[in-house]
Amino acid sequence: MTAEGQLVERVIQQVWGFDALRPLQREAIEAGVDGRDALVVLPTGGGKSLCFQAPPLVRQKLAVVVSPLIALMKDQVDGLVSNGYPAAALHSMMDEAESAEVVRRARAGELRLLYIAPERLVNPWITEMLREAVVDAFIIDEAHCISQWGHDFRPEYRQLATLRQRFPGVSVRAFTATATERVREDIVHQLGLDDPLLLVGDFDRPNLVYRVQARANARGQIAEALERHRGEASIVYCISRAETERTAAALRDKGFGAAHYHAGMQPDDRKRVQDDFMQERTDVVVATVAFGMGIDRSDVRCVVHTAMPKSVEHYQQEAGRAGRDGLEAECLLLYSGADPIRWLELMERSAGEAGVSVSDDQRALVWEMRDYCSSVTCRHASLVRYFGQPFSKHEREGGCGACDVCLGELVEVDDATMIARKICACVARLEQRYGAGHVIDVLRGGNTQRIREQGHDRLSTYALLRGHAGPALRSYVDQLVDGGLLVRSADEYKVLRLTDEGVSLMKGEGAVRLIEPKKTKKSSAAATRDSADWEGVDQVLFDALRGLRREIAGELAVPAYIVFGDTTLREMARAMPTDLREMARVKGVGAKKLESFGERFLELIIEHTEIAS
């Protein structure tokens, strides 16, 4: 290793307490140390921050970080300062005196990182200040915000295109978790990156267990998943604001410490929910996707989607908020065949209001997400292939070992073809004029007013599938729609019709597969405390350490992860250091944190081992 490489390692060990770099971190840091332009694409949790935070310490110069949200900036700066890193932010929530002090430190060469909101960078006064402070590099975080092809376009990011001209000779490095080719090209083009080093990480998140379930009784399904993660951080995503409120209330009735969050709430209430979550006073947040980007909590153990998200890219982003610390976590998606249509309606409506039309490309994104939900292939493989990467683990026996498909949680339905034929026959008997609900009522031999009025109890298909549960039949209908045997009308009635293939099947040609969840033990062992990440960890001690962390976070009014991450606490509960020297060897314990918190954690560990022995 070069002398420079050794210096990088020493700095990282000293400040962050990390003893190894993650894939591509070394390359990204080297580009920073060399002052080269770069575009770094790493999935959420891949460790992008370290890539731009380490080089300024080595170069002993100031880098400016552009970040879209004040909350995100504040969390990063707090985290850095707790590690003894000279960092600060300039944003609109600061008063004049605070800003003046930051500017003074930047000019005096005391800072290594300065976080600034994009719209402030065009301010002539700030430009002048940055020239005087001799800025050495610009870091564009969440760089996909510059592209209208991305999922989170922000007009104020467009102004960054002028940085190159205004600061010639200053290197620019962009970071994002967005994987599409088009967005990447757009970033390079807009920022005018000069011969950039392109680093694209592996999009698979092996520590996440993905599950897709047909939505049958949503609240019960959500509770069952959360039950596997009691006392741990979870996020439940809903599409509408009202749903977040209702669902959070229902979960509280079931004894979960749940709060709701959406963009329609008062800023103070939003902040309180966010702070409670960050300081571990709230375990479960039920939210619209407005909750997420500013949430830097790395120990989220479970993300539930109560309905299908808008695109695979959105899903990757939102589900990706689980397990950023690299430890196992679960992502559950509840899907109904009506979800894609609901999205298309929402898109049409908001496009209509804006006086534009929904493009075929946008529609295709919804159907691609539907394909993910309805397919029975490995979820990890589907996701990484969607992002254009190969997936090889699948060849190994047992597949990825971390999705419902590979874990064998889905099984093929016996008599699938026969059931499908009966469903298609019933759609035909009802003259292709009814939605799934009524078709299912007829098949199950229901006694509804509509059935009586229409005389549908005299149809030959009446009660043909008596004994099958309603939600199971609903899932079969969805699967037949997804498989192209039935279509649903796109209007509000969602009438089922037969396709040519559906007609052939009804006449006895061909065969179909249907799947259903395996009916065995309630919760799977994966993504619970039995898994390998817990090997050698004293779980009682771990819980006690988390308690201490919560206490300290409360005292300092900082997010709990600023004290220590879960990885570090588990490592402590595994290694059980007996003095500060041993404590310093625990991954995630840097010099500053050892000084700030070492004693208190050590005391607790020693106390625990004495009681235990």
The residues of the shown chain that bind ligand ADP, judged by CB under 6 A, are 18, 20-22, 25, 42, 44-50, 298, 324-325, 565
415-to-213, 337, 484, 501, 513 alpha-carbon distances in Å: 21, 22, 19, 18, 9
Give the one entry of Zn ion, ligand ADP, none that residue 150 binds, where binding means its C-beta sits below a cut-off of 5 to 8 angstroms depending on kind: none
- Residue 475 near residue 416, CB atoms below 8 Å: no
Q: Which residues bind Zn ion (CB under 5 A)?
A: 378, 380, 399-400, 403, 406
Give the one entry of Zn ion, ligand ADP, none that residue 598 binds, where binding means its C-beta sits below a cut-off of 5 to 8 angstroms depending on kind: none
- CB within 8 A of 427, min separation 6: which ones? 434, 439, 486, 496, 497, 498, 502
| Helices 48-59 and 25-34, packing angle to 10 deg | 30
Query: Other C-beta atoms within 10 Å of 217: how many?
Result: 11
Give the one entry of ligand ADP, Zn ion, none that residue 22 binds, where binding means its C-beta sits below a cut-off of 5 to 8 angstroms depending on kind: ligand ADP
Q: Toward ligand ADP, which CB reaches closer, 22 or 219?
A: 22
Give the one entry of ligand ADP, Zn ion, none that residue 596 binds, where binding means its C-beta sits below a cut-off of 5 to 8 angstroms depending on kind: none
Q: Toward ligand ADP, which CB reaches closer, 140 or 442?
A: 140
Give the one entry of Zn ion, ligand ADP, none that residue 50 binds, where binding means its C-beta sits below a cut-off of 5 to 8 angstroms depending on kind: ligand ADP
Which has the closest alpha carbon to 187: 154, 145, 136?
145
CB of 397 to Zn ion, least distance (A): 12
Q: Toward Zn ion, which CB reaches closer, 159 or 375?
A: 375
Q: Toward ligand ADP, which CB reaches closer, 29 or 464?
A: 29
Give the one entry of Zn ion, ligand ADP, none that residue 49 binds, where binding means its C-beta sits below a cut-off of 5 to 8 angstroms depending on kind: ligand ADP
Torsion of CA 148, 153, 158, 163, to 10 degrees: -110
CB of 381 to Zn ion, least distance (A): 6
CB of 400 to Zn ion, least distance (A): 3
Q: Toward ligand ADP, which CB reaches closer, 52 or 434?
A: 52
CB of 565 to ligand ADP, least distance (A): 5
CB of 608 to Zn ion, least distance (A): 38
How far is residue 534's CA from residue 528's CA, in Å, rounded to a whole number?
Answer: 9
Q: Toward Zn ion, which CB reaches closer, 39 or 378?
A: 378
How far is residue 127's CA from residue 135's CA, in Å, rounded to a whole number?
Answer: 10
Q: Toward ligand ADP, which CB reaches closer, 175 or 462?
A: 175
CB of 44 to ligand ADP, least distance (A): 4
With H, G, I as helix, E, B as strand and everything else as coil, classify residue 457. helix
CB of 324 to ligand ADP, least distance (A): 5
Q: Toward Zn ion, which CB reaches closer, 8 or 383?
A: 383
Which pairs from 128-135 meet CB under 8 Å and 24+ separation? Answer: 129/103, 130/64, 130/106, 130/167, 131/167, 132/107, 133/62, 133/106, 133/107, 133/109, 134/61, 134/62, 134/109, 135/62, 135/63, 135/64, 135/167, 135/170
Give the one entry of ligand ADP, Zn ion, none that residue 21 binds, where binding means its C-beta sits below a cut-off of 5 to 8 angstroms depending on kind: ligand ADP
How far is residue 19's CA from residue 13's CA, in Å, rounded to a whole number?
Answer: 6
Give the one entry of ligand ADP, Zn ion, none that residue 324 binds, where binding means its C-beta sits below a cut-off of 5 to 8 angstroms depending on kind: ligand ADP
230-to-214, 257, 330, 438 alpha-carbon distances in Å: 23, 9, 13, 38
CB of 79 to ligand ADP, least distance (A): 8
